[in-house]
């Protein structure tokens, strides 16, 4: 009996290591090309995220893991995101100007379009493409926003860690996520390559 339990545990450990290893290789490849079964391997990495994160903490950099996972999930969500009709953008407050005059509410920072940072342009362009912009100071705002907004698509602008975190949190909700990674991390003075944002707008134009 104990031998059978031991063998079963050994097999499950081997299968787990093999699956997560293959999923990591696929996620890395997704940075440069399309991959097969992206959604399946994204689910595998979500399931093993915490132990994998500990391994990356010890031997590498957790930002690499999040970067690979975000890339893989973008590949997996691409077709579904293209079919969404009611979209919002969740962007971090760290991209705004240090002397931003806007105030905060339960759905985030209320941009005044003062022209001091990228959000003035982002709001204007987003409206043309059918998105509503929310500037959040933390992931806790996401639930409030989705309670108030009947969105089926969420475009995330953030660092890879935050994008992956929100993608995992919204996995079981009826929304499709897609991410644009910022150029740098930090609590202030962060930037996004605006051409990448415009490319997403163009690639996923909502058909009327």
Q: What is the pLDDT of residues 49-76, one digit of tens each?
A: 999 999 999 999 999 999 999 999 999 9
Contact status, residue 118 vs residue 135, Cβ threshold 8 Å: no
Is the pLDDT reported for residue 174 higher than 90?
Answer: no
Rounded Cα–Cα distance for residues 5 and 159 (Å): 42
- In three-state secondary structure terms, 206 is coil
Is the pLDDT reported for residue 6 higher than 70?
Answer: no
Strand partners, 87: 131, 153
Q: Structure pTM?
A: 0.92
Q: What is the mean pLDDT of the chain?
A: 91
pLDDT band per the 50, 70, 90 thresholds, residue 1? low
Distances (CA, A) of 123 to 34, 130, 205: 31, 10, 16
Max alpha carbon distance in the chain (Å)?
71
Rounded Cα–Cα distance for residues 177 and 174 (Å): 10
Q: Is 125 exposed, middle or buried (0-12, 13-18, 19+ CB in 10 A)?
A: middle
Contact status, residue 106 vs residue 181, Cβ threshold 8 Å: no
Is the pLDDT reported for residue 142 higher than 80?
Answer: yes
pLDDT band per the 50, 70, 90 thresholds, residue 43? very high
pLDDT band per the 50, 70, 90 thresholds, residue 138? confident
């Amino acid at each position: 009996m104990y031998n059978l339990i031991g063998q079963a545990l050994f097999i499950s450990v081997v299968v787990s290591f093999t699956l997560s290893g293959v999923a990591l290789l696929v996620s890395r490849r997704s940075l440069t090309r399309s991959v097969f079964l992206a959604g399946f391997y994204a689910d595998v990495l979500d399931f093993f995220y915490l132990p994998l994160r500990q391994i990356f903490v010890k031997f590498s950099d957790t930002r690499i893991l999040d970067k690979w996972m975000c890339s893989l999930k973008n590949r997996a969500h691409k077709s579904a995101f293209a079919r969404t009709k009611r979209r919002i953008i969740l962007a971090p407050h760290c991209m705004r100007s240090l002397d931003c005059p806007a105030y905060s509410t339960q759905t985030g920072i209320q941009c005044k379009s003062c022209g001091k940072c990228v959000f003035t342009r982002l709001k204007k362009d987003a409206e043309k493409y059918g998105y509503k912009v929310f500037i959040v100071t933390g992931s806790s705002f996401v639930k409030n926003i989705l309670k108030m907004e009947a969105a089926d698509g969420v475009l995330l602008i953030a660092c890879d860690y935050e994008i992956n975190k929100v993608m995992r949190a919204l996995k079981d909700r009826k929304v499709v996520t897609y991410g644009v990674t910022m150029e740098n991390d930090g609590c202030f003075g962060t930037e996004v390559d605006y051409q990448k944002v415009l490319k997403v707008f163009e690639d996923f134009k909502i058909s009327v």
